[in-house]
Structure 1
Amino acid sequence: MGLMPFFHIYGLTGICCATLRNKGEVVVMGRYKIETSWGALMMAHEVTFALIVPAIVLDMVKNRAVDEFDLGKLKLRAVMTAAAPLEAEVI
């Protein structure tokens, strides 16, 4: 899942280059919205790996909109976060 700006080194190498190297597919969001990320992208495209900044991880953990989705259908196997510390309670 591509949630980082691709003009930034993290977005370019961490998402684009690493995904291409591993023969993957990048799912790109135009703008982050919890409803779009979980519903239309994470599940519909069967996202397995996501590089996400801590602020978005926090929203995904605490936002009530996530309760509306059947997380049993989620294919996500790993999340990598960077750019700022992630609080222990969120981990």
Structure 2
Amino acid sequence: MMALLGLAAPLAGLTLQPPKQSDLRLVFLAPWQDADMLAQSAGGTLVGPQQALFAALVQTDDPARFDQRARDFGAFGVRDGAVIAALCGVAL
């Protein structure tokens, strides 16, 4: 139980942070959604060869437009992806 709480706190902090305007976005989506199709439809490109079950890192040139379009295409939420990318060792 303590391990679960230890993992939940950093993830909650990432999801509750105010949106920023970096070009790297963390997109939250359902496991049955096609992350690549959602990213392309919203105007972005998936980053990295791997993605999490409920999230994907996406690079975009227009973060504000991408955020709205991603939600329109079914994303649960979109946040700045720079922090999680740094934690995961993604170098752009």
Give the shorter-chain TM-score range. Answer: 0.3 to 0.5
Q: Which one has more relative contact order, counting CA pairs under 8 Å at least 6 apart?
A: 2
TM-score when scaled to structure 1?
Answer: 0.33
The structure with the largest strand share of the pair is 2
TM-score when scaled to structure 2?
Answer: 0.33
